[in-house]
C-alpha cells in the first residue's frame, strides 16, 4: 500500500498498524520498505538478473548456503 498506492494510506491503516507495531517499529518498517523499493528500482534500471551482480562472491545473508 505504501509503495503502490500511497493515496490509499489513511487513518484506518495507521490505526491497524498501531495495533501490531510501536511507532518506532512503524518507522523502521517504512525505512525498510523505502530501502528495498529503491534497491529494486536500481536493479531494474540496470537490467540486472537474479544472481548476475557479484555472482562470483559468497556475500549475503547466509554465506554458508553458498558453499553447498
Residue 24: inside a domain: yes
Which of 26, 29, 6 lies closest to 14, judged by CA? 26
Which of 65, 68, 10 lies closest to 2, judged by CA? 10
Question: What is the C-alpha to C-alpha distance for residues 58 and 36, in angstroms, rounded to an integer?
Answer: 21
Question: What is the C-alpha to C-alpha distance for residues 57 and 46, in angstroms, rounded to an integer?
Answer: 19
The proportion of the chain whose per-residue pLDDT surpasses 70, expressed as a percent, equals 78
When pLDDT is cut at 50, 70 and 90, the band that residue 45 belongs to is very high
What pTM does this model have?
0.60
Question: Across residues 43-57, what is the average pLDDT?
Answer: 79
List the domain range (segments joined by +) for residue 52. 6-66
Residue 1: inside a domain: no
- For the record, the C-alpha cell of 16 comes out as 491497524
**How many domains are there within the chain?**
1
Amino acid at each position: 500500500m505504501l509503495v503502490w498506492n500511497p493515496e490509499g494510506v489513511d487513518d484506518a491503516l495507521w490505526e491497524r498498524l498501531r495495533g501490531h507495531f510501536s511507532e518506532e517499529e512503524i518507522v523502521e518498517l517504512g525505512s525498510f520498505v523505502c530501502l528495498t523499493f529503491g534497491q529494486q528500482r536500481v536493479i531494474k534500471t540496470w537490467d540486472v538478473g537474479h544472481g548476475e551482480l557479484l555472482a562470483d562472491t559468497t556475500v549475503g545473508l547466509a554465506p554458508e548456503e553458498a558453499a553447498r
